[in-house]
Structure 1
């Protein structure tokens, strides 16, 4: 009898371990803080700061998956932005708590179907196709696309509707010989919205040292949260490429943005390069945005060095120059540390 009890306990233990192995939950994130002297084009003066998110917007959160059998997996992501310099939640006042990710997914050989808040089509192509990644502080392409200037220049971000979309259905294809794509649809969810929505798609091709990417969006509602109708339709697209020659990796992007209720387009060209040096990389990127309905353009150049202390921790130094037609020019410098967990 005792042997049978021991056998039953052993079998129960093995089953419990197997069930546990089929389901995982992970806490992860990135903390990034820099010290800088900042002046953007059009600023009245210089600011000395200790700020969050020099090279990556700081965030933390939970992701998980469960093996459902038969090649199916369920997953979830709940991740939140945070300003590490003062502990404030979100990227800006009024940002939703889980504005980075709040979704559930089902994946298999068919690809992945995801419901909830997730990246907008514009985000990942712009991050992969410039040498400074998702730096909303120092990457010229990202600054032009996503960061308005609250000064005399009146500069507006060229990306119509945030880098993340709420209330969306997204389908991601499986990897097909290095090619992947996402198809995305965001519901307006407003009473009497008459079908107002955001739709978009992006693609990625990874062929050895070659990267090709691009996106298209047709936007009618704002983000984050339950967005409001713009009162117009805004369209934007971008194509990008990079090639790793080992000694250097050049980057190139070109894109346009157009609103139905405004004349002209915003046309943005970005050229960049990264080159290994010691335990880090030298980074350089230049972006120019022309507003075709006027004589106004913006030119931003950033050069810097990113040094790896370990696989998860790096330190960086960046120097940026920013110019807008008819505005005072600005220059900024920052040194920071980034840790991934």
Structure 2
């Protein structure tokens, strides 16, 4: 009898240890806002009229599963499955028809770094975006015009068929890269790759990244990425460069960023397109609960032999009701050059549904409620 009890106790203890070595976490963001958008184009409403709409606010609503298993010797198996959705109607978002449309990967992690395989963000989103307004406190509407640099992850921006390496943190320095397979007999038909690095010392943060997608002839729907980046079809190659810096002192943080997006060989009237974005941003916490943010971006675009530009300003006030729940109000104003393609504040949808302005001016103002779990 005693032996039986001892065996049962030992088995129970082993089961407890095995359970403690692995974990699965359900997490997510629920963000609902009411947004006013001015000067909506005739195809999307009456010319010059405004639109009130309920949907996603600062962030794209999402839920996910994140897990790990201790394999011993400092090695872990990890995975993430993440889905974005429209909180207004409950439908999956990002236009790719998949359930886990934001991220879906599995990998191994050790003291030297992490290797993961699946649908993942590239180096521009990992190392550069967190130092910009759209990639940190500002969210979707603070994205650079048209989001051609894809720093806002509200949209189908993660790369498919991707193997990623992210280093451990070496005295504040971290680096990494991705390679995304075309999954095609023509190896270069819709593949992508990226590399980047970040450094932090006390309140100073630096980041830089490069990414390139070779989209081929646009016939490979199972490749690394969409053939309509920024809603502009038929690019032969898309390249993104960028560098950013931020400095935090006391309750304040200031930052600056530059990105360049090049869309080559467009089989449309726009032709080859290059945009340079110059951003400055600041965040100040008036109290532990109340934060104020501001950002300005100047974007210059070269289209074939012509050029145009945009000026974009954004303000935000955010009040925390608890550690996980906050309310906010924000407004973004954009003004385009008179010789350009008009104003169009990015809202996370495809370009065709992105509410381009009927004039050179547009304002998007949002009030909302956000809960994290």
- Could you tell me the TM-score, scaled by structure 1's length? 0.88
CA distance in 1, matches of 2:277, 2:170: 30
The equivalent of 2:179 in structure 1 is 185
The equivalent of 1:248 in structure 2 is 252
The equivalent of 2:17 in structure 1 is 18
CA distance in 2, matches of 1:218, 1:168: 13
| Cα deviation, residue 253, structure 1 | 0.2
What secondary structure sits across from 2:100 in the alignment? coil
CA distance in 1, matches of 2:128, 2:281: 12
The equivalent of 1:79 in structure 2 is 82
What secondary structure sits across from 2:169 in the alignment? coil
| Cα deviation, residue 248, structure 1 | 2.0
1:305 aligns with 2:317: yes
The equivalent of 2:302 in structure 1 is 292
- Could you tell me the TM-score, scaled by structure 2's length? 0.81
| Cα deviation, residue 191, structure 1 | 3.6
CA distance in 2, matches of 1:337, 1:112: 34
1:144 aligns with 2:134: no
| Cα deviation, residue 263, structure 1 | 4.3
The equivalent of 1:275 in structure 2 is 284
Change in CA separation of 1:274 and 1:284 when aligned onto 2, cut-off 3 Å: same
Contact 1:123 1:163 in 2 (8 A): no
Change in CA separation of 1:194 and 1:34 when aligned onto 2, cut-off 3 Å: closer
CA distance in 2, matches of 1:219, 1:163: 12
Contact 1:200 1:217 in 2 (8 A): yes
1:31 aligns with 2:30: yes
1:60 aligns with 2:63: yes
- Greater displacement, 19-28 / 319-328: 319-328
CA distance in 2, matches of 1:98, 1:269: 33
The equivalent of 2:268 in structure 1 is none
Structure 1 unaligned regions, length at least 5: 147-156
The equivalent of 1:201 in structure 2 is 195
The equivalent of 1:334 in structure 2 is 366
What secondary structure sits across from 2:94 in the alignment? coil
| Cα deviation, residue 190, structure 1 | 2.5
Aligned length: 326
Contact 1:132 1:283 in 2 (8 A): no
CA distance in 1, matches of 2:28, 2:83: 9
CA distance in 1, matches of 2:169, 2:77: 18
